[in-house]
Amino acid sequence: MGLAKSFSRRESLLAAGAVGLSRSVPAQSAGRRTTMGIANDSVPSRRSVGTPEFLDLVKDFGMGGAQVPITTLDSAFAKQVRQRIEKSGLFFILNTSFNDLELFRRNVALAKEAGAVAIRVASGGRRYEDFSTLAERQAHVARVLGRIRAAIPVAEAARIPIALENHKDFTVDEHVKLYRDYSSEYFGACVDTGNNLALLEDPIEVVEKLSPYAVTAHLKDATLEEYEEGFLLGDIPLGEGFLDLKQVVSLLRKHKPNLPLLLECITRNPLRIPCLTDKYWATFPDRNGLLLARALRRVRAHKPKWQISLPANPPAALMREMESKHIEASIMYARDVLRLV
């Protein structure tokens, strides 16, 4: 099983039209089926849709809330978003950036008008891809710290918490230090249940350490598979990977019983985690081989049942069908196994 294959049997069936969804959402999705919401990254083929259209999609799926940008930056539009979420009974988390402080201020003001319960941000991309030297990484950290210092007073004034995602750029202990150093009830974590696998960290330990600071969480399952430079990390519908999601939810809810939970299942080919290359280790001067040994044992102990496997430039219709199939499978697992109802 590897990247050379263009389609899995599962995806071939989807391409043949086996799902047959007229709107690319399940016909049986009327009414609320799960309290779990969804992040807009779960529908890559529809990232460009407007906020109201995405909220309609969430409602059609029968899910409990949405993490999505405000796509028109004016007050009247924000009020329309609020009317829509209140009518549908959804929770709303603004997905935005804090790289531009003035734009962040504007987004936060609109998020308040729209009734957002949190503001999700990320501090960077993939550490092992973005930086070739420790100095580059240290410069990035300095920029991030400045953005956090500037953003927290904005969130405090609006009384809407920032949820900073563990987004493959800070280790879990580095994240915990941020929450302790910048202690504020309006600054916490968007706990992603799979991202820190790319940093060779144990997923349950990550959730245990971040859950006391959680503002929201991305529920995702994962597959692992070796390749010549490290391992492949794949998103997969909930319940079809190796993560112990029952334990994950239990840990999250232990600290925050009403924590908004969001599906983030990104339909894409597995990511390459090149942990056997020199560049990967350039920004980890204090780590040793024990972490790598544990990570490789984890990979070898969890052979994937299947992987998402996409051709180059897949047709938009195929992507929509696949996304909907994966979301539907995740909803069923959240409802029937995780009891998120």
Q: What's the average model confidence in pLDDT over 32-52?
A: 93
- pLDDT, residue 30, reads 54
Asked, for residue 33, whether it belongs to a domain, the answer is yes
Enclosing H/E stretch for 235: strand 230-236
Whether pLDDT at 265 is above 60: yes
Burial class (CB in 10 A: 0-12, 13-18, 19+), 324: buried
What's the rounded Cα separation, in Å, for the pair 255 and 250? 9
Q: Is 232 a member of any domain?
A: yes
For residue 262 the two structure tokens come to 């969001």
| Distance in angstroms (rounded) separating the CA atoms of residues 302 and 307 | 13
pLDDT at residue 283 is higher than 70: yes
CA distances from 186 to 163, 202, 208, 214, 319 (A): 8, 27, 20, 11, 37
Mean pLDDT score of the chain, rounded to an integer?
A: 90
Q: What is the domain-level CATH number for residue 77?
A: 3.20.20.150
State yes or no: pLDDT of 24 exceeds 70: no
Q: Which of 232, 263, 253, 258 is nearest to 329 (CA)?
A: 263
| SS3 per residue for 180-213 | HHCCCCCEEEEEECCHHHHHCCCHHHHHHHHHHH
Q: What is the rounded CA–CA span in Å between residue 280 and residue 83?
A: 47
pLDDT tens digits along 312-339: 889 999 999 999 999 999 999 999 999 9
Q: Flag whether pLDDT at 10 surpasses 90.
A: no
- Residue 231 pairs in a beta bridge with 226, 273
Confidence of residue 28 (pLDDT cuts 50, 70, 90): very low
Question: What is the domain count for the chain?
Answer: 1
Average pLDDT of the residues in 135-150: 96
Indicate whether 23 pLDDT > 70.
no
Q: Evaluate whether residue 38 is within a structural domain.
A: yes
Handedness of CA 312, 317, 319, 322 (dihedral sign): negative
183: domain range? 9-336
Residue 149 domain-assigned (yes or no): yes
Q: Is residue 2 part of a domain?
A: no
Alpha carbon distance 70, 78 (integer Å): 7
User: How much is the average pLDDT of 131-151?
Assistant: 96
Are 67 and 43 contacting, i.e. CB atoms less than 8 angstroms apart? Answer: no
Q: What is the pLDDT of residue 31?
A: 83
Place of tokens 């990254």: 41
Starting at the edge strand found earlier in the chain, the sheet holding 221-227 runs 221-227, 230-236, 271-273
Residue 192 included in any domain: yes
- Using one digit for the tens of pLDDT, what is the confidence trace for 170-224? 999 999 999 999 999 999 999 999 999 999 999 999 999 999 999 999 999 999 9
Please report, for the chain, how many H helices and E strands are present, in that order: 11, 11
- Do the domain assignments include residue 153? yes
CA–CA dist 109, 107 (Å, integer): 5
The reported pTM is 0.89
The torsion of the CA quartet 92, 97, 100, 105, rounded to 10 degrees, works out to 20
